[in-house]
Amino acid sequence: MKKLTHIFFVLIMLVVSSQPVLARQNEIILSENEVREIVLNTVDVLEHDYLFPDKAKDVAQDLLHKLDIGAFDQSYPFGMFKQILENILIKATNDSGFELVEREIHNPLKNKLTRQESNAIQVDMLENDIGYIRFDGDFLFSSAQNELDSAMAYLAESRALIIDLRITGLGTLPLAQQLISFFVAPDTVIADVFLNPEEAPAKIIIQDNFINAQRFYDTPVYVLNSGFVVGPWEFVGYTLKYHHAAVIVGEDTMGVALMKKTLPVSQHANLILTYAQTHHPKTNENWQDYGVIADYQVSAQESLKTAINLATTEISR
């Protein structure tokens, strides 16, 4: 019996220990030439696209030095080289935003399927003519501009308005701009966009043609946030707050103000890096690391009730 138990244990260990091998068999192997290509292209994008040029210069020199001394003169499994390169970039810049990722083979059917996002813009008219609009899910690929126009038209007669961002997912800057445009006047600079801290920023300005007939300049507005609100949706809350166009209710947001982009560095690899950040023209700051700080600190679950009470009080004056 002991012998059978021992054999059974050995078989189990063989099965378990074989799993990493099976996983590695499907992993891309980067040739020595492709590793060199990745390093050289990484140096190039650091010099031309990375947000912080001083940090980019140091790490670029380090990578070129490693190439010269033959530190990369071999092939690597993708995962191993990913760890090596990311470790070099992060340690040299103190920026954890770098990521080396596999490039997906172009597949039109797959791309079409991945762009079928689950999202919704829901509207309601609450008691006392308090308008309510909620954004659910991801809006990364979908074109929701027409839906947003229709939703805001439905809420045109609202005496107060609640914007619920608590369960938003991914978003885009154009959609965020469009939402802001209903509450901030045309020709207003709503953000300075820095592609390089040493150069003059580009400006994001509310355009006349960005706004339909309905505007909510004099309407009390309340934005509901949770700790999971991120990126462009944080831009909405931060901008409205510091243009005195809305009151923020709920939790402080995640605090991600740095913009990233993905650039190809070889046949099999893309590099994700930080390329821009926005600053509010009045505060000369953004919400990076701190989040959008709520004016009324309550739990996300209690924020709607709190906002309704605030709106009711405001319109009864």
The answer to whether residue 143 is domain-embedded is: yes
Q: Please indicate, yes or no, whether residues 123 and 237 belong to a single structural domain of this protein.
A: yes
85 and 170 share a domain?
no
Q: Are residues 271 and 195 in the same domain?
A: no
Structure-block tokens of residue 141: 């690929």
**Residue 184: per-residue pLDDT:** 92
Number of domains in the chain: 2
Tell me the pLDDT band of 10, cut-offs 50, 70 and 90.
Answer: very low
Pair 243, 267 in one domain: no
Does the structure show a pLDDT above 60 at 224?
A: yes
User: Do 183 and 266 fall into the same domain?
Assistant: no
- Residue 44's pLDDT band, with cuts at 50, 70 and 90, is very high
Give long-range contacts, CB 8 A cutoff, 24+ apart: 98-101: 98/271, 98/272, 98/273, 99/271, 99/272, 100/38, 100/265, 100/269, 100/270, 100/271, 100/272, 101/262, 101/269, 101/270, 101/271, 101/272
Q: Is residue 131 part of a domain?
A: yes
- What residues pair up with 203 in beta bridges, in sequence order? 192
Residues 92 and 138 in one domain: no
Asked whether residue 140 falls in the same domain as residue 242, the answer is yes
CA atoms of 123 and 129, how far apart (whole Å): 12
pLDDT in tens, 47-85: 988 998 888 898 999 999 999 999 999 999 999 999 999
Q: What is the CATH number of the domain that holds 80?
A: 3.30.750.44
According to the model, what pLDDT value does residue 145 have? 84
Confidence (pLDDT) at 297: 98
Whether residue 44 sits in one domain with residue 187: no
CB count in 10 Å sphere of residue 258? 18
Whether 197 is in a domain gets the answer yes
* pLDDT tens-digit map of 226-281: 999 988 999 999 999 999 999 999 999 999 888 888 899 999 999 999 888 888 88
Please tell me the predicted confidence (pLDDT) of residue 205.
87
Which pLDDT value is given to residue 313? 96
Closest by CA to 257, choosing from 223, 221, 225, 229, is 229
In angstroms, the CA 255 to CA 225 distance is 12
For residue 156, the Cα-to-chain-centroid distance in whole angstroms is 30
Q: What is the mean pLDDT of residues 100-116?
A: 60
Domain that holds residue 96: 29-102+260-275
Q: What is the pLDDT of residues 170-199, one digit of tens each?
A: 888 888 999 999 999 888 999 988 887 667
What pLDDT score does 26 carry? Answer: 79
pLDDT of residue 142: 60
The amino acid present at 305, given as its one-letter code, is K
Contact 112, 142 (CB under 8 A): no
In a domain, 64, yes or no: yes
Task: Say if 7 falls within a structural domain.
Answer: no
pLDDT of 210: 54
Q: Is the domain of 270 the same as that of 248?
A: no
Residues 165, 212, single domain; the answer is yes
For residue 255, list its beta bridge partners: none
Examine the domain organization and report whether 83 and 150 are in the same domain. Answer: no
Question: Mean of the pLDDT values across residues 86-92?
Answer: 95
pLDDT of res. 172:
83
The DSSP 8-state label assigned to residue 127 in this structure reads G
**What pLDDT sits at residue 105?**
63
Write the CATH number for 119.
Answer: 3.90.226.10
Same-domain pairing of 131 and 165: yes
- Residue 6 forms part of a structural domain: no
Residue 65 lies in a domain: yes
pLDDT, tens digit, for every residue of 113-166? 444 457 889 999 999 999 999 999 888 766 688 889 899 999 999 999 999 999
158 domain residue, yes or no: yes
Residue partners of 80: CB distance under 8 A and separation at least 6? none
